Chains A and B, each alone.
Chain A
Amino acid sequence: MDKTHQLIIVGGGPAGLSAGLYASRSKLDTLLIEKAVLGGQILNAEMVENYPGFPQGISGSELGALIAQQATKYGLQTAFAEVQGIEIRGGEKIVSTSEGQFKAKAVIIAGGSGYSKLGVPGEEEFTGKGVSYCAMCDGAFFREQVVAVVGGGNVALNDALFLTGFASKVIVIHRRDQLRAIKILHDRAFANPKIKFLWDTVVESITGDKLVKEIRLRNVKTGKGSSLEVSGVFVAVGLRPNTGYLKKLLTLDAGGFISVNAQMETGVPGVFAAGDIRAGSIRQVVSAAGDGATAAIAAERFLSLV
């Protein structure tokens, strides 16, 4: 731990990078800490068609790289480390990471969210061996095979539709008797002869030898168990905010998201949250960017007063 920065930003997705852009253009001594690569979740999107300024659409990996390039143009410092805790000591925020501690007067938390897991036996063991959280990355490994998609939201149906391009059959397993996904995806999925639905059903376990072979299911209404032979299990049961380490410091909602006001202020002075990680976010690149700018301006105001 060396000097005290004015601002530390946790997370290098569109929210954190936009905050970094605004903060560094305001000449705040700002350090952005990212655990993997700059760009965030958007890097995984095949095509982004709803970010203003790109009428033809743009690939997520390209957009993420451009946002990172622009954000780091004005003196934003970056460090690559996994943040493990934030602590308030006097007027300073101490950020503990896998690579040591960093200090700042203000912090913007923009750590986004990760994939929710099913939390069933076999899931961990077979991750990368048939269990996947990215249909777009792994679909091609399942040519002419039977795969399951777990979930009933937009991501689940998008995944299912995408997978019909490879798999011989796609079984959507949903714990309710209706979908949360938007109507247009509904209609496409119901019309696709390769997609079959299993309603009111949850996955109990995933088994196999070296690769996934079978999943055990349970009907939540009848309690009846069954099993299904599949070679792939695509998990699309939503996102979980990366806030495990913040429970003691901040007010989180039932889903673990950080509660903020319209200035992106958390209840703790000098601690802000932006993007997918905050409660009520619509989880779009455009809103994340807006949140980041709002948080940076609020942080600048906070710093001018302390």
Chain B
Amino acid sequence: MAESLKVDDKSFKDVVIEAKMPVLVDFWAPWCAPCRSIAPVVDELAGEYAGRVSFAKVNVDENPKLATDYGVRSIPTLLIFKDGKPLTQIVGLRPKAELKKQLDAVIGKG
């Protein structure tokens, strides 16, 4: 199991936008129960996709601007970025198999 990197308004550009690898960004907040439920699943995926996809977490309470910029109005929302652009949006608590499918699709786009 691996931990996702915590990012904020300042580090977002370096960690996500300019990343060489695809990045899965988990938008969450401490008061959101489904966010707590999906966190360990995302951590597992971070382990399984190590070296192919990097993983980041944005606390929307502390970084409301990032949520606004990317139109996040519901959490948990997972955005998968590639070449600085959000390609896939996954809203709510979803099965791990579905998250893997989405990640594989993004990696597959070469």
Point out residues on A near B: beta carbons under 8 Å. Answer: 35-37, 39, 43-46, 59-61, 80-82, 98-99, 127-134, 136-138, 140-141, 210-212, 232
Contact = CB atoms under 8 A, between A and B. Distances in A.
B95 A98 contact: yes
Contacts of A232: 73
B16 interface: no
Given A141-B73, A232-B73, A98 B97 contact: yes
A211 B71 contact: yes
Contacts of A61: 33, 36-37
Contacts of A45: 33
Contacts of B35: 137
Contact of B73 (A36, A44, A211): A211
Interface in B29-83: 29, 31-38, 40-41, 60-61, 67, 71-77
Given A36-B95, A37-B40, A43 B73 contact: no
B27 to A, nearest CB: 10
Nearest to A141: B73
B71 A129 contact: yes
A56 B58 CA distance: 32
Contact of B37 (A39, A127, A212): A39
Contact of B38 (A37, A46, A59, A141): A37
Contacts of A44: 33-34
Nearest to A138: B74
Interface string B76-110: 11000000000001011111111000000000000
Nearest to B77: A128
Contacts of A137: 32-35, 74-76
A81 B97 contact: yes
A37 B93 contact: yes
Contacts of B32: 136-137
Contacts of A211: 71, 73
Contacts of A130: 73
A41 to B, nearest CB: 10
Contacts of A133: 92
14 contacts: A36-B41, A37-B38, A37-B40, A39-B37, A44-B34, A98-B98, A128-B91, A131-B74, A136-B31, A137-B75, A138-B74, A140-B61, A211-B73, A212-B73
Contacts of A36: 37-38, 41, 93-96
Contacts of A136: 31-33
Looking at B35, B76, B91, B98, which has the most chain A CB atoms within 10 Å of its CB?
Answer: B91
B63 to A, nearest CB: 13
Nearest to B93: A36
Nearest to B70: A210
A90 B58 CA distance: 51
A196 B15 CA distance: 44
A131 B91 CA distance: 11
Contacts of A140: 29, 31, 60-61
A132 B33 contact: no
Contacts of B76: 137
A99 B61 CA distance: 36
Contact of A128 (B40, B73, B98): B73
B89 A37 contact: no
Nearest to A133: B92
A43 B37 contact: yes
B33 to A, nearest CB: 5
Contact of B92 (A35, A39, A98, A128): A128
Given A43-B33, A61-B36, A61-B37, A128 B72 contact: yes
A36 B39 CA distance: 12
A269 to B, nearest CB: 30
